[in-house]
Structure 1
């Protein structure tokens, strides 16, 4: 029986096939918790690669984890906005003369949450290939204090003054909206609620462990 000898070139896999497989992986999509969920998060393999050492974190991966926490560990005392919310909020509040209408459109982002009755609100901020975090603490009514806003920025690359301005405007716009509802059960003491803008306390925190 004749034996056919193959050249080395014949036994090596085609490089084009390897590239094609890599491209397929890069385009592969993962949906969490499911494709049909209205709050689904879409991930690709290339997004997941940002978890490799010395690579900058991407929004889809952080949003995946935020959604995972919401679904697997629901907590009425905490609400985490996704990574796109802050930039949308900043854009809406910057439109002179259109702030009210733009803000109304944004309300769908927290339609299931009363922000003034949720003890902790977390807002991730992304800019200049860097992440920082805003934590808003809403005290209980008996504490007789207004909201406390903390900006955690390990490298100090995001202007805390600008961030505080955006968050303060956000709280005041929502306060104005709720003022229209005479039946609303106010979450703070009457004095604090009536003069909310004077009772928003802000604090900048630097020096936290840096993360890419």
Structure 2
């Protein structure tokens, strides 16, 4: 059976081996080989194309029994779907790509007579006429790369025998410009000026913010100094050895009713003085005597505020029996002419102090345990109204007066020193001094009060 009939329709055939024996070929393999070789034979009968010549397929003789490689199968597929005209265009494009595109530069003169620089002749595809370029992928692909940075005319020649000179503009690098350095300097000088301007604005803003912050800090510093100003605590008078000897003698065992001091219609016995020893509670005699010492000092020193002190029994009688029970207590004194009036308040087991400040129009309540007593403040307010109407014959104007329980004052840390605190509140207020003492000063104050009572004068 010949090769044509064997590959063009038979499902199976017999083939001779090298030893002369025949054997059958399977139908599936037969169909695959039949399809490939049939196409190969058709192409061979039709002739070899220019595309095949370009890529060298024509130089390889067809062998009947040889297999088809992958690359040849791809080339055969291209030849099957492509026309001769399309393959010719591919061939021309490849030939143009492989050929040198730039030839030696030539010189020519521009219209002004100057010799142009950087003149080159570039090969382009052939142009069929003077007006329109030949259609195809070559012309746009080659002309696409020369659009920017153009300066002078250049001559170009096409491929083949026909040549066409086309005048276009040449590509010129900006680095070759005569003004390149000056342009660069202008650009970077402009940027530098812009940066300097931004820096100046930032510095001005920083200066403004710094000044604003410093002004605010100064204002806050003044506020803190006024609120939290730490004043020097006045140094307390030192008790000498002679003073301590007198004080120790008063605390020694002796007759309880022995009178150690007498003044202001008050007799101070050894029993009264002993309440200042240790942590004992003060009695009425000690408090009343010490209040009279404060009044006496205010009379002797005209620079100090004028002071009057009520007896410790005044407030209990006023609060229980009303104004009429104490109406005659001020028969010899005009309290409205004083700057300060002290009212020692005894609440059974606790001493406090109330102060009527006519100069500042205030009624203040001082409790070393931090307590508040609105009832006491209202009672003293009503007393002022009644006292003024009784003594002056008119209503007392309390407009602008303030009633306040003082909280930010020295506090006692035990249950025994309330009487000493009350006496020292009055003594410091009469000096118009800050209440700078503490619980730690109480032992000193107890001994100092003994010396002051025995000597009938205050140390300060």
Higher CA-based Rg: 2
- Counterpart-to-counterpart distance in 2, 1:119 and 1:72: 14
1:85 aligns with 2:85: no
Long gaps (5+) in structure 2: 1-252, 419-460
- Counterpart-to-counterpart distance in 2, 1:127 and 1:164: 14
Deviations 1:1-34 (A, max 9, x none): xxxxxxxxxxxxxxxxxxxxx6x6112234522x
Deviations 1:83-142 (A, max 9, x none): 22211222221xxxxx5x43xxx2332223222221111111111421111111113xxx
In structure 2, relative to structure 1, the CA distance for the partners of 1:31 and 1:110 (3 Å cut) is: farther
- Which range is displaced more, 77-86 or 108-117? 108-117
Displaced runs of 4+ in structure 1, greater than 4 A?
none
Long gaps (5+) in structure 1: 1-21, 34-38, 94-98, 140-144, 182-193
Is contact 2:353–2:366 with CA below 8 Å preserved after alignment? yes
Deviation at 1:62, TM superposition (A): 1.5
In structure 2, relative to structure 1, the CA distance for the partners of 1:179 and 1:40 (3 Å cut) is: closer
Superposed counterparts of 1:30-179, under 5 Å: 30=260, 32-33=262-263, 39-71=264-296, 73-74=298-299, 77-93=306-322, 99=323, 101-102=324-325, 106-139=326-359, 147-157=361-371, 159-179=372-392
Deviations 1:126-161 (A, max 9, x none): 11421111111113xxxxx8x31010112144x511
Partner secondary structure for residue 88 of structure 1? helix
- Counterpart-to-counterpart distance in 1, 2:262 and 2:381: 32
- Counterpart-to-counterpart distance in 2, 1:166 and 1:73: 26
Deviations 1:66-99 (A, max 9, x none): 2233345526711111222211222221xxxxx5
TM-score w.r.t. the length of structure 2 is: 0.31
In structure 2, relative to structure 1, the CA distance for the partners of 1:175 and 1:207 (3 Å cut) is: same
- Counterpart-to-counterpart distance in 2, 1:168 and 1:118: 16
Partner secondary structure for residue 113 of structure 1? coil
Deviation at 1:59, TM superposition (A): 1.2
- Counterpart-to-counterpart distance in 1, 2:282 and 2:327: 27
- Counterpart-to-counterpart distance in 1, 2:391 and 2:257: 44
In structure 2, relative to structure 1, the CA distance for the partners of 1:72 and 1:148 (3 Å cut) is: closer
In structure 2, relative to structure 1, the CA distance for the partners of 1:195 and 1:122 (3 Å cut) is: closer
Is contact 2:308–2:338 with CA below 8 Å preserved after alignment? yes
TM-score w.r.t. the length of structure 1 is: 0.63
Deviations 1:30-79 (A, max 9, x none): 4522xxxxx41122212111111211111111112222333455267111
Q: What RMSD in Å do the two structures reach over aligned CA positions?
A: 2.7
